[in-house]
Amino acid sequence: MYLIKKSFNLLAVASILSFSLIASLYAKEQPPVGSKPSNFQVPKTSTMQLDNGLKVTFIPYGTTPKATIRLITNTGNIDDGNQPWLADLSYEMLRQGTKTQSAKEIAENIASMGGQINSSVAMDSSWLGVDVLSEFSTNAIDVLADMVLNPALASSDLTRIKTDRTRQLKVQLSQPGNIASQAFYKAIYANHPYGELYPSEESLSGISGDDISQYLANNLVAGRSHLYISGVFEQASLSEKIASAFSSWQKGQAKKSMSVISQTGPKLIMLERENSPQSTIRLGLAAIAPDHPDALAMSMMNTLLGGAFSSRITSNIREDKGYTYSPYSTVVNRVNSGVWFQSADITLESTGAALTEVFNEINLLAKTPPSKEELDGIKNYMAGIFVLRNSSRAAVINQLSFIELHQLSDTYLKDYVANVYNVTPKEISEMASKYLTPEKMTLVVVGDKAQLTPQLKAVKSLEAYW
C-alpha cells in the first residue's frame, strides 16, 4: 500500500512538472504583445501647377526604381447625368488607342517600360495611370498625355465595350447583393446620381460616341485634374516633360457643386426571390461626410460594431448564432455625404432573428460604452491597418487624393494614429446613439416574401416600418 501511494505521489509530481514545463514552453512560444503604432510619416511632397490649372504633385517614396503615375480627375458617375455608366465607358474608351497608336501598341509600349496601364472610375473621382520603371517615367508621361488629349474613340470599340458591359450588367443584376444595394441606394438618395448604381439595358445601349466625346470634353479637363508621381524619379526632367506634354490641354469649367438631399426612414423594401434558401439584407441610413468632425469616431464605432471580423454583430450572428457566414457593416464616403449600412446573406428561416440581434447590438452600444479593453483592441487594429494601408506608392497617392477630394486638413495623415488613440469609450457610444437611429433606417430584404413577411413582422424594432 505504501509503495502504491509513493508511486502515485511520484507520478503526480512528475505530471505537475511535465505540465509546468509544457505550459512554460507554450508561454515562450506566444508572440510578443505589439507596441502602439507610431504616427504615419507623411512623405515630403512638392507641387506645381500649370497655366491651364493642372496640379502636379511629386512624392519621393521608397528605393525600388519604379514610379507610379496617376492622373486623378474630379469626375465620375456623379457626372453621368441620366446615363449611368457613361463615365465607366468613357474611361474605358481612353484605353482603346489614340489617333496615332492602337490599344495594342500602347500596351506593348508601356510593357516595354516594365509597367502597365490602369484606370478606375468611382462616384466622385476617377483616374488613369501607369506604373513603370523609373528610367521610363518621362516616356510614360508622353503616352498618358496622348491617351488623354488624342483618344481615337472608334465606334467599333464602343460597340464592343457596350456588348461586354451589357453582359456584365445581366450577371450583376442577377445577384441578390447587387439587387439589394441598388434598391438601398435608390431609397437613400432618390434621383441623385449617388442613388444610381446600374443602368438599364436600354440606357446602356443608347450611349453614343457623341455622348462619350461630350463627357470627356466637359469633365476630363486640366482644371479639375491632379497628376501624382510617387516613387523614384528625376523631378526636374519630369517637370519639364509634364509642362510640354499637357500644356495644350483645355482648362475646362470648374466642377459644379451638387446638393445632396438624402431620404430618411423608416422604410422597408422587400424584393421577391421566390424559393431562395437565404435572404440578403441592407440595413442603414445616410450618415456624415468624411470632413465632419465626428467622422473618425464614427468609423471606429462602425469597426467595433460590425466592420471587422471580431466585431460585435459578426461575433453574434456569425460565430454565436450561425445565422450567416459573412456579415459586415461599413461607412461609405461621398462628397458632402455618407452612408452607414449593415449587410448580410442570412439563412432564410433565421432572417427575423438575425435582424433582432443586429438591432439589439446597435441599441446596446448606443446605451452602454464599450470597455476600455475592447476599444483598445479596435484602436490597435485601426492604427495598424492605417499604417499598412499607406505602405506603397499607390497607397500614398490614394490618401493624398482622398484628402483633396474631401477637403480635409493637411494634418489628417500625420495625426491620424494619435487621433485614433484619443477617442474614448463614451464617444463611441455617442456615435451609435447620435447617428444609428433605427427609426430612420431603410431596410432592403431580397428573398422569398411569403416566408420572410411573418418573420419581419415579429421583429419589434421593425414595427414602425410597416
pLDDT in tens, the chain (466 residues): 433 333 434 444 444 444 444 344 344 344 444 556 666 777 899 999 999 999 999 999 999 999 999 999 999 999 999 999 999 999 999 999 999 999 999 999 999 999 999 999 999 999 999 999 999 999 999 999 999 999 999 999 999 999 999 999 999 999 999 999 999 999 999 989 999 999 999 999 999 999 999 999 999 999 999 999 999 999 999 999 999 999 999 999 998 888 888 999 999 999 999 999 999 999 999 999 999 999 999 999 999 999 999 999 999 999 999 999 989 999 999 999 999 999 999 999 999 999 999 999 999 999 999 999 999 999 999 999 998 888 899 999 999 999 999 999 989 999 999 999 999 999 999 999 999 999 999 999 999 999 999 999 999 999 999 9
**Locus of grid cell 505550459:** 23
Query: 449-457 and 351-367 helices cross at what angle (nearest 10)?
Result: 40
**Beta carbons of 315 and 243 less than 8 angstroms apart:** no
- Tally of CB atoms within 10 A around 353: 17
Q: Thinking of the domain 267-465, which architecture would CATH place it in?
A: 2-Layer Sandwich (3.30)
**Beta carbons of 285 and 465 less than 8 angstroms apart:** no
Using alpha carbons, list the distances in angstroms from residue 282 to 209, 210, 425: 36, 37, 27
- Tally of CB atoms within 10 A around 141: 25
For the chain, domain boundaries:
46-246, 267-465
Distance CA 88, CA 202 (A): 16
Domains 46-246 and 267-465 share a fold: yes
Angle at 93 between CA 89 and CA 97, to 5 degrees: 170
Long-range contacts, stretch 157-164, CB < 8 angstroms, 24+ apart: 157/93, 157/96, 157/97, 157/103, 158/89, 158/93, 158/207, 158/208, 158/209, 158/212, 161/89, 161/92, 161/93, 161/96, 162/89, 162/204, 162/205, 162/207
Q: Which grid coordinates belong to 56?
A: 502636379
CATH of domain 46-246: 3.30.830.10
